[in-house]
Amino acid sequence: MKATVYAPATLSNLGPGFDVLGMALDIPLDSVTASLGGTGIRVIPAGPYGSRVPVEPERNVAAFTAQRVLKALNRTDGLELRVEKQIPPGSGLGSSAASAVAGAVATLRACGGDISAQELLAICGQAEALTSGTAHLDNVAPALLGGLVGVVGTDPPQIERLELPTDWRFAVILPHVEVRTEDARRVLPDTVPLSDAVQNLRHLTALLAAVGRQDLQTFATNLEDHLAIPYRAPLLPFYEACALAAQKAGAIKLQVSGSGPALFAPCANPEQAQAVCTAVEEALVAWHIDATTYVCKASSSGALGRSEVSAQ
């Protein structure tokens, strides 16, 4: 059997939701095609960022999750994984999470097996440790399940999922610089002032309430963070200029996704999102930085709902 699974890019560390809040986007998408046969696991990179995909199974997150799915199913099949890389690595858009999730689900579908979402989350969370040094779920959970996901627990995985309004748009700007997740985590302190933690909780409460009310203004206003962004500012020296440009173009708030460099702003409609993308892209010119932009919607579908299975 052969199965192709698509996994979405994700925004994570959503404002005050450091390591606990992430959401799936409708574009871009990574895909993994898993084909049973042969011996061992073979990785075939493809797509615009395929040259940056490790082909050694022990270094590849899709191969990592595929191996663990085979083990969970008590299978010893050989496997070929074609990894179509559309989400740039090191972007802050959940590139490794998308590959990990697509690899796990594609292997599951190719085998015709059954594993719980909780077990898949645990496997994919472990894969994140290959690239970031720590197992976290705020990218893999929305990549697997879609929607807006809050991570309640990690061992075992426990999540809460919400749907975002379908008419909201997200201006996503990806500066062509790389921020390594390991570097971004290294600059974070072990402890933070109590007042900063309380502020984050206030913003998180308001942000989640805004989702329930479909209140874009309150949602965007509360995309504030006092736990990570202040310490990571030196890694993103262009952020303040970009935030000012976004606000002049009509954005309520421009925020960093993950550890960066991706930036995003919630918008009321596609036209506003495009205007914000253009304004931020122009602001980056002064820093001699090119950028790729996307006008996105929240996606209610993750990899579990995006598969194609066929006989080989």
Dump the DSSP string for 172-241. EEEES----HHHHHHTS-S---HHHHHHHHHHHHHHHHHHHHT-HHHHHHT---SSSHHHHGGG-TTHHH
Task: Encode pLDDT of 186-228 as tens digits.
Answer: 899 999 999 999 999 999 999 999 999 999 999 999 999 999 9
Whether the pLDDT of residue 311 is over 80: the answer is no
Fold of 169-297: Alpha-Beta Plaits (3.30.70)
**Helix 95-111 crosses helix 61-72 at what angle (to 10 degrees)?**
30
Task: Encode pLDDT of 60-75 as tens digits.
Answer: 999 999 999 999 999 9
- Looking at 1.10.8.350, 3.50.50.60, 3.30.230.10, 3.90.1150.10, the CATH number of the domain 2-162+299-310 comes to 3.30.230.10
Across the range 234-249, mean pLDDT stands at 96
Whether the pLDDT of residue 271 is over 70: the answer is yes
Evaluate the omega torsion of the peptide bond into residue 28 and state whether it is cis, within 30 degrees of 0.
yes
User: What pLDDT band is residue 3 in, cutting at 50, 70 and 90?
Assistant: very high
Output the pLDDT for position 134.
72
Output the pLDDT for position 155.
86
- Mean model confidence pLDDT for the chain: 94
Output the pLDDT for position 136.
82
Whether the pLDDT of residue 83 is over 80: the answer is yes
Output the pLDDT for position 131.
74
CA–CA separation, 255 vs 262, rounded Å?
A: 9
Whether the pLDDT of residue 312 is over 70: the answer is no
The domain ranges of the chain are: 2-162+299-310, 169-297
User: What pLDDT band is residue 272 in, cutting at 50, 70 and 90?
Assistant: very high
Evaluate the omega torsion of the peptide bond into residue 156 and state whether it is cis, within 30 degrees of 0.
yes
Whether the pLDDT of residue 26 is over 70: the answer is yes
Across the range 45-52, mean pLDDT stands at 95
User: What pLDDT band is residue 154 in, cutting at 50, 70 and 90?
Assistant: confident
Task: Encode pLDDT of 99-141 as tens digits.
Answer: 999 999 999 999 999 999 999 999 999 998 877 767 789 999 9
User: What pLDDT band is residue 50 in, cutting at 50, 70 and 90?
Assistant: very high
Across the range 76-100, mean pLDDT stands at 95
Task: Encode pLDDT of 136-150 as tens digits.
Answer: 899 999 999 999 999
Across the range 248-273, mean pLDDT stands at 97
In single-letter form, the type of residue at position 250 comes to: G
Structural tokens at position 264? 């995003």
CA–CA separation, 233 vs 290, rounded Å?
A: 19
